[in-house]
Structure 1
């Protein structure tokens, strides 16, 4: 009898993607701190995979600017870098502007309602000081237009550059600027519902460009 095919084996590409997302999320949420040395054997044990998908994930994370590698010496979590974050901000803002522009003809009443619900959760998270929930709700809000745009290139670019901004946002999160963002979201929703493509796209871009407070926080004390 021939050896049966193992149908429930996890494809290598899935292992690689899972490793990439797990390590990326740990860097963004601060579990892995800036400057921390990364050992692929330790990461493999943590994730329950072999070292190959971990190495592939680390290579992708280096391309994304979240990891730095010195061949033969070390791999570490990239330090926070304002210049890199500013570049990511410009690209991210442009992609969300394009996403809204392309999404509006396809947005359903259900999509508009989902945007309002996500923004309500965002506002509630800010009021309670729950940074994780605020960022999750913000991602959900913006993700509705990205999904409606059905543009895979937009999604791919945002997958690379948004984590650089979210990482800095967690460190310097401002409830004041966050409350401003709630109002900006409301404006985006109203413009999308009205079908005003130009104004809605510009409002989406302005919302992301308003993160300048992250780069120039007001002095305390």
Structure 2
């Protein structure tokens, strides 16, 4: 089939979402550092989209606490903020508690196996000192019950607040007790498999709260 002569129109919502994800990921992985100024023209050149989806993406990132905009002046990547991050830990932990509680009655053997596989990848990444891979594996582990819960409200809240925590993990991942986190994941899977929704939910909540020791002192980039 030949390429159509007319140019395909990409919906603006898709452009906005793509711009949001690209900017979010660059902030989370440190490509865009805390305090870095974000210039519309440079972002347009980098992402290959117009100024409108860039501005819409930046507005969404500001709601998530990842950028700060001063009208008429500039937009910067938000500095790491202890208070905001502690608040995000509380919200994210509570959402995962809800997700696991609702997911347990519906988790299939394949989904439990997916959680085990993700945790094995997580453990291997920790052994290799690969924080990026560890965070990705942790996302996949916790993403299984979030998807299985089919709770869109939970997914929406996590979409907003989890990136705030991932910034901290990538900067100071070595401060976490990696082996303890792997063991906690194993406990969550075992409780899910046993059908103990309340205990599994509490274990998921406590697993996310292990991020709090990261926030005991000043953060790099403050």
How far did residue 15 of structure 1 move? Answer: 0.2
1:144 matches 2:141:
no
Counterparts of 1:93 and 1:36, CA distance in 2: 29
Q: Is the 8 A contact 1:126 1:175 kept in 2?
A: no
Offset at residue 8 of structure 1 (A): 2.9
Aligned to 2:94: 94
Secondary structure (helix, strand or coil) at the match of 1:192 reads: helix
Moved more, 69-78 or 172-181: 172-181
Aligned residues between the structures = 215
Gaps of 5+ in 1: none
Could you say which residue in structure 1 is the equivalent of 2:114?
114
Give the deviation of 1:113 after TM superposition.
0.5
TM-score, with length taken from structure 2: 0.94
Q: With structure 1 as the length reference, what TM-score do the two structures score?
A: 0.94
Following TM superposition, by how much is the alpha carbon of 1:213 offset from its aligned partner in structure 2, in angstroms?
1.7
Contact 1:44 1:51 in 2 (8 A): yes
When residues 39 and 193 of structure 1 are mapped into structure 2, their CA distance, relative to the original with a 3 A threshold, is same
Where do 5+ consecutive residues of structure 2 fail to align?
Answer: none
Alpha-carbon separation, structure 2, partners of 1:148 and 1:158 = 14
Contact persistence 2:176–2:210 (CA under 8 A) = no
Q: CA deviation at 1:176?
A: 4.9
Alpha-carbon distance between aligned partners in 1 of 2:217 and 2:191, rounded to the nearest angstrom: 30
The change in CA–CA distance for 1:112 and 1:7 in structure 2 (over 3 A counts) is farther
SS in 1 for 2:35: coil
Higher relative contact order (CA 8 A, sep 6+): 2
Report the CA distance between 1:179 and its aligned residue.
1.8
Distance 1:185 1:29, change over 3 A: same
Partners of 1:37 and 1:75 within 8 A in 2: yes
Identify the residue that residue 201 of structure 2 maps to in structure 1. 201
Q: Distance in 2 between matches of 1:171 and 1:72?
A: 31
Moved over 4 A (4+): 4-7
Residue equivalent to 2:30: 30
Distance in 2, matches of 1:127 and 1:217, equals: 25
